[in-house]
Chains A and B, each alone.
Chain A
Amino acid sequence: MKRRLVPSNDKLQLDMTPMIDCTFQLIIFFMLQLKIIQPEGDFNINMPPPGAPGPAIGAILPEIKVTLKSNPDGSLAALMLGQRNLGNSPKVYGLLNEEILQIIGRPGDPATKDTEVEIDIDYKLHFKHVVSTVSACSGKLDKKGRLVRYIEKIKFTPPRKPSE
C-alpha cells in the first residue's frame, strides 16, 4: 500500500532568546551611559596678564566700572555703576542692563564696540551675583530669543582679600 505524505503544519521556529538577551544587554549598556546634563552656556571674560597693554586708545567711551559690595554672608549689599548705587533688589540686574544700554546708545554700534566693563567684586560675594552682573552687561534677549549684545569686553579686578 502506498503511504500518503501529509504536509506538516508546523512552522520553522527561530529561537529568539539569544537575540532578546543581546538587545537587553545593549539597552542596559546605553542606559548606564546616559547622562542627563542641563544645557550650559559660557560668558567670555577678557583677562590679559598683568603688564599687557590696556584698553584701546581709540575707544570713544571710557571704561565702565561696576562695583559689587557684599554682606558678610555673601549676599549682595549694593551694586554700583560708577559712583551711583543701584541697590540690591532682585531687579537691580535689569536696572543695570538698562543703564548699560543708555551708555552705549545702540547695540552693535561700531563706536561703542570696544567699550570695556570692569567689575570690582568683594571677596566674599557669592559667585551667582557676579554671573548675573556679567549677564546684565553682556546684553539682552530680544522677543525672538536672540541675544542682543551690549558689551563684549568684560574683565574683573584682581582679588582683594578682606582685611581680617
Chain B
Amino acid sequence: MARRPQSSSPTSCEIDMTPMIDIVFQLITFFMFTMSFEEIQADERVKLPLDVLAKPPEVKQKHAVVMNIGFLRNVKGERLDPEPLLFNFGSGQKIRPLEASKYMEQEARLYRLRKVELEDVTIKIRADQEVASGIVQEVIKQCQDAGFSKFAISAVADTSK
C-alpha cells in the first residue's frame, strides 16, 4: 500500500519580536527625554550669527520677549524680500521691524497688568546675520520708548573653533 506523503506541519513560522520591541521602546524613551513642552519662540527662518562665546545661559530669563528679525527666503536660502520682517510676533501677520512700536506698547501694558516691572523683562533679539544693524537699533529704540531697558542679542554657538 502506497504511503500517503506526510502533511506539512500546521504550525506557522514565528518571528521573535523581542529585539524589535526592545528597540522600539528605546526609541520611545529617547524621544520622550528629548521632547520639550516648552514653547519655543525661535524662528528657523532667522540665520543667527555664529560666535564662540555664545553659550546657552545657565539661568533662564524669567520674563523675555523674543523678537525674530529675518528675511523671507526660498528653499535655497535666497532672499525673497530685501526688507526684513518680524516673525512670530504681534498678530502673526507680516510686520516690518519699524512698525513694532504699537506691539511693544501692548507687551509693556500686559506686563504692567501682571505687575511685572519692565526692568525685569529681557527683550531677546534674534536677528539674522545679514540684517542691517540700523534696523536692530531701530527695534531697540522702539522697545526703549515702550519702557524696556534690558536687551540680549542671540547668536549660535560656534563649535568649529
Contact = CB atoms under 8 A, between A and B. Distances in A.
A127 B49 contact: yes
A interface, over-half SS: mixed
B113 interface: no
Interface stretch (B1-9, B20-28, B72-80, B99-107): B20-28
Contacts, number: 164
**B25, B31, B42, B50 interface centre (most CB from chain A within 10 Å):** B31
Interface in A1-39: 16, 19-20, 23-24, 26-27, 30-31, 33-35, 37-39
Interface in B117-135: 124, 126-134
Interface residues of B, number: 50
B28 A30 contact: yes
Contact of B28 (A23, A47, A141, A162): A23
B157 to A, nearest CB: 5
A40 B130 CA distance: 17
B141 to A, nearest CB: 6
A131 to B, nearest CB: 4
B148 to A, nearest CB: 8
B147 interface: yes
Given A50-B144, A135-B155, A128 B53 contact: no
Interface residues of A, number: 56
B35 interface: yes
A102 B91 CA distance: 48
13 contacts: A35-B36, A39-B54, A41-B53, A41-B57, A44-B151, A46-B149, A70-B133, A74-B130, A123-B134, A124-B134, A126-B132, A127-B133, A141-B52
Those 4 A-B pairs whose CB atoms lie nearest each other, nearest first? A30-B31, A123-B134, A41-B54, A159-B137
